[in-house]
Structure 1
Amino acid sequence: MSNSQAAAVKIAAAYHQAWTTGTLDAAASHLAEDVICYAPSGVIEGKAAVRAFMEPFAASLTQSTLLAVFGTDEEAPLMYNTANRAVPSAPGAELYRIQNDLIVEIRIIFDRLPFALARGDVIEV
C-alpha cells in the first residue's frame, strides 16, 4: 500500500469512527469546507450542512461496526453496519473522495427499508 493509499484509508476510517461515536467536531475536521455528499435523501453541500445531516442519525446510534475499508490514491470505500433502538441492523456503505487530506465527496448507500418498517410505513411491492 502506498503512503497516499494509507492516508485515504486513515482519513475515511477516522471520519467514520468520529461520526458513529457522536464526536461530530472531530468528524467535521476531516471535511473540506465545500464537501458534497450524495445521500439517498438527496445532495447535501458544504461542511456545516453535511454535519447537520449526519448529526441526528449519529445521535440515534446504539452500535456501529466497521466491516471493511480499503483505498486507492484518492478514495476510500467502506462498509459498515449500524443499529439504533428501532432498527437492530442497518447495513451501509460510503465512498469517500479525498483531496489535500480532506474529504471532498461522500457517496452514501444504505437500505432505507428497515427504517421505513420501524416507522410503520406501508410498503407496496
Structure 2
Amino acid sequence: MTTTTGSAQKIADEFVHAWTGRDVEKALSLLADDVVCEAPGGRIEGVDGYRGFLQPFVTMITSATVIDVLGDDTHAAAVYTTDTPLVPDFRGIDHFTVENGKITHIICVFDRLPMHLARNA
C-alpha cells in the first residue's frame, strides 16, 4: 500500500496512536478547543465533550492495532481495530480535518451493533 504523508497525516497518526495506547491526555492535546466529532451516536463538540466520548472507551481497551493512517496536509484517515472485554476485533475508521496543527473535525465510523449485543448478552 502506498502511504501519502503530510502534516495532517502525521498529527492523525500521533492522535490515533496516543488513544489506542491509552494516553487520552496526549490525544486530547492534538485537538482544537472547538473540535467537532460526528460519531454514530451523534455530534460531539469541544475537547471536554470529546473527552467524555473517548475516555470510557479507552478504559475498556485491552489491546489495539493501528492498521494504517493515510493523509496529506489537511486531511487524514485512520483504520484501527481494538479489543475490549465485551467485543474483540472492534473495527473503526476516523477521518480527520487538521487546521493550524490541530484536529478540528473528526468523522468516526464504526458499527455500534457488536457493542450493543455484547452489553445485552
TM-score (structure 2 length as normaliser): 0.91
State whether residues 19 and 27 of structure 2, in contact with CA within 8 Å, keep that contact through their aligned partners in structure 1.
Answer: yes
Q: Distance in 1 between matches of 2:85 and 2:49?
A: 25
Q: Which has the larger radius of gyration?
A: 1
- In structure 2, the gaps of 5 or more residues are none
Task: Give the length in aligned residue pairs.
Answer: 117
How far the C-alpha of 1:25 sits from its partner, in A, is: 1.2
Amino acid at match of 1:26: K
Aligned partners of 1:120, 1:29: CA distance in 2, in Å? 34
CA RMSD of aligned residues (A): 1.1
RCO comparison, higher one (Cα < 8 Å, 6+): 2
Unaligned runs of 5+ in 1: none
Q: Whole-Å Cα distance in 2 between the matches of residues 67 and 115 of structure 1? A: 21
| Residues 42-78 of structure 1: per-residue CA shift (max 9 Å, x gap) | 0000011111210000110011111121112200011
Question: Runs of 4+ in structure 1 displaced over 2 angstroms?
Answer: none
Q: Which amino acid aligns with 2:91?
A: P
Q: TM-score, normalised by structure 1?
A: 0.89
Range that drifts further, 110-119 or 98-107: 110-119
Q: Match for residue 50 of structure 2?
A: 50
Q: Hey, what does 2:103 align to over in structure 1? A: 103
**1:37 Cα deviation (Å)?**
0.4
2: CA distance, partners of 1:32 / 1:9: 16
Show the counterpart of 1:71. 71
